[in-house]
Structure 1
Amino acid sequence: MLRFIKKQFRIYLYISYLYLGTIWIFINVWIFTNNLVYSIPYNFGDNLQINEAANLLYRYGYMDDYSKTHNNNHMNNDHGNPIPPDQNPYESKFLSPDKLSLTNPPKEFNNAIRKFQIQYNLPITGKLDKATKNLLISPRCGNPDQPIKSKQSSTLLSKLRFGNTIHFNQNYSFTVQNANNNHNNNQNERRLLKRQKRYLIGDEKMKWTKKQLTWQIQSYPSHSLSRVRAHAVFQHTFNLWSRVVNLDFMEEKDYYKPADIVIQFGAGKHGDSIPFDGAGGVLAHAYYPTPDNVYSFSGDAHFDDDEIWNDGPHKTHRNLISVAAHELGHSLGLGHSSVPTAIMYPYYTRTWEKVKLDPDDIAGIQQIYGAAKPGKFIPPEPSLPDIPPPPPVTTEAPKRENVFDFCNISVDAIIKIRNLELYVFKGEWQWRVTWSKTVTTWITYQFRDGPAKITYYWPALPKYVDYINAGIERHDAAIYIFRDKKFWLLLDNMRMKPGFPSDGLPLTDLGLPSHLERVDSVFLWGENQAIYIFAGKYYWRLDEYSGPFGKVISSPDYPRLIKDTWQGVPVPTQAAFTGLNDETLFFEGTNYYVFDNIAMHTRPGYPKQASLGILGCMK
């Protein structure tokens, strides 16, 4: 009898083990399948080649450009259009086998792999193993993870091995002890993840200096989420951040009023110099805020319109709430986090839970701006599906293609405003072009808005000013506007300089000759920060602090012939401005020249087509 009972007990025990084992397998398979990144087969990373991995590591900030690192004689002689139409600044030069050995990759590549593995708590092998491949090719945010200098990047591993402290913008520091072997190295490198602050402040200077920010959706998903549902998503995500941080967000409903944070959906080349890569891969990218400048394009967020967006969890669609909350974190100044549960974790994973901020996200944003005040107002969120449509804008935005062909155009004047934005003028029209800072690098020119009538942008000017010849912002931020034989001096587009007559003053009040019919161009030269006026074949230097409104220098040396000093510059010029790297650009017809301040001559290879990027062409 006892033997029978023991036998029955063993049978029940085996059945229990089998039952529990089945449950365990089912639970783990369910968890695994429900946390796979969208659209990425588990073994898809097996096809990732070393040169492709190097491109991704470069794009996300873990690796310098190998072609630049290993060619000290490499010189970039392309001083052409600041926005080359086929160049992606996040794309490295690893595309051909002779650039990177597939069997013997350089040390920089292995170091980059180790940094990536450390960042995401992967096995630290320094090799492109399966786990590393699978994460590298997963859909994610397009902003880089590593805003550290290339010099720091190339020496990270050596510093780890000798117990140095490495500081990442003073918010990302750690120390490891001396290591005598590889086993200890791996232990120390793993310990790194426990000691560091996971959140990363993008740049201490790149933050908003005001507490009330405006936002605006300028374009919506074209083939997935409806406008009303997309609008509700962004109201919800702004509220997520507003509840924890000492910032207030208000939607700007007037198309022509600039918003601090502009939201756009676009596919491929979508108006900046960082094109999207189609469905999968990069889902979105955003720009850090720029300090003390309400005109900046920075702070904006772009979303890939090739993705299928949804306003909640879905097996195949992207959850816009999750991605938008992440990108808006960048718009407020946060970098990427290594905490997988944080909104600022760069890789996109499916979750069936309600999107919420992680304590890591909250700690990071409150370090920048402080905690939300108790009882602050949070804008109401409409309940789906009964969402009222967004209120209409007060003025219908003109369609760009119905005004000009921006890719084949000459202009009358260009004014650089606040060192971050260009006001471009053609006849009675004006539009705005900007350049902005991404997470780690300055990028090139992007169309912002317009065109609109000059009288709309400049209500301080008389209504009859329906075109201008030239203009410039002074060092004190006052703005000169030139039209025929008159000029105006404004505090900004809304106000005239105190004491300046609204009907303008004659050019002779600046000390220019009475026979002068018009000013052709005016610019601030980067070499001496002086303002120069070009008219006909002559030029003058302007002393902006002389007299009540400025005067040209009275000297036997002026006026001078343009051709004697500014060699190669077209005479007369149509427009000019000094842009990135203190380079002065001169415009003639649909072409432009770049002036070499050292050689005092236009650069070789010019003129070139002016429209791409600089003047608003989006091809």
Structure 2
Amino acid sequence: MVALVGLLPPLLLLLLWGGLDAKPTERLDQELRQEAEVFLEKYGYLNEHISKAPTSTQFSNAVREFQWVSQLPVSGVLDFATLRQMTRPRCGVADTDSHATWTERISALFAGRRAKMRRKKRFAKQGNKWYKQHLSYRLVNWPEHLPEPAVRGAVRAAFQLWSNVSALEFWEAPATGPADIRLTFFQGDHNDGLDNAFDGPGGALAHAFLPRRGEAHFDQDERWSLSRRRGRNLFVVLAHEIGHTLGLTHSPAPRALMAPYYKRLGRDALLSWDDVLAVQSLYGKPLGRSMAAQLPGKLFTDFEAWDPHNSQGRHRETRGPKYCHSSFDAITAEPRTLQERWAGLPPNIEAAAVSLEDGDFYFFKGSRCWRFRGSQPVWGLPQLCRAGGLPRHPDAALFFPPLHRLILFKGTRYYVLAPGGLQVEPYYPRGLRDWEGLPEEVSGALPRPDGSILFFRDDRYWHLDQAKLRVTTSGRWATELPWMGCWHANSGGTLF
């Protein structure tokens, strides 16, 4: 477990911001040193097993190491700039091993294959990485004053940053199923120990756990914002803490996202060269994809503008992923090419759905169906589904929460499936008149976190009220649904 962020006490703040005009007395010097020792021990610069009064050499070396990681002039002297740096809000993960890990990456970069092999061996230690490349995540809750769609967009983008430059793939797990990585906002003491209790605005911001616990915790009472113009930028903190859940330590490289002190959004790419080297040393390079997905920070300056209930002033853009320019055959938990994640599926899958009961994915084509748990097949081989009364060549599939059942749509009718996905329930199929306003031959259906359901056909979508089984709105998904990733509200560019 990692320690939390903390500010030095009021005595040091008073000194730093000009509250004391006279030269510090010997007593104040000693108190400042003691507070600095507490800070340096908390963040891994002083060994907690050494004596309560470290020697001058031990203390100077610890200060020197902190200055190096913090990109300050390395002197070993507890000067004004070093004290001020210690008061800044920062990531709660200790900086232990940051210097050694960074040195090893640089050695591998210049020394070639032999050093590269040593680096991989080092990172294979227990708990330092995930031993799979497909990881699920869940946003357990979010700041009460921020819109949920915008927060989810920021979370999705934060995971995508790491996926773009590595062999990792991420997907959002259903609310009722397990997840590898969980992001949670807490108030005060949250069973991580009293030293790790959150303390409201300022002070403690977040802390994370390395694999494989897979958790990142954030202070619910912080003044979080999804804009760089005010408050504490949540997107940057999310992306940084997710890096820790993947096994990354802090980086001393200039403008690195994984620097101990959170990066500011600007024109440069969000991930530095050292961030990219670090994640690739654990998980390898992207498979079959270009690394040109690095995006400048200015694209992520205002996630609040992504709120679908606030559409004024948006600049719409039609560039983006391939699916943004055409219709698609099926949609599961998010828009992506099926074969990128579920190896062994044939092309042109006709219907797909994810069960909110067990998190399994179901795929249909012709008279056959497939079931996957994560990226692994459950049945081994595709099943012949025609015998159970299932329609051949279904148009769309959906897990319908009120019935706790999978539903298939075909033409003007729909079929409710018994548990397991291979048998149609009695008294079905029924006509689409039960779903008021829903068109025939939809190509995809997707339940949303707010309880509604979206249906797709060609370039259009229909928003259905789940409780009333009635379509309430419709439109064009590529230009009106920000989470589809086909445009960006501020830059006029695409996100993914």
The interval holding the TM-score normalised by the smaller chain is 0.3 to 0.5
Query: Which structure has the larger Rg?
Result: 1
TM-score normalised by structure 1 residue count: 0.39
TM-score normalised by structure 2 residue count: 0.48
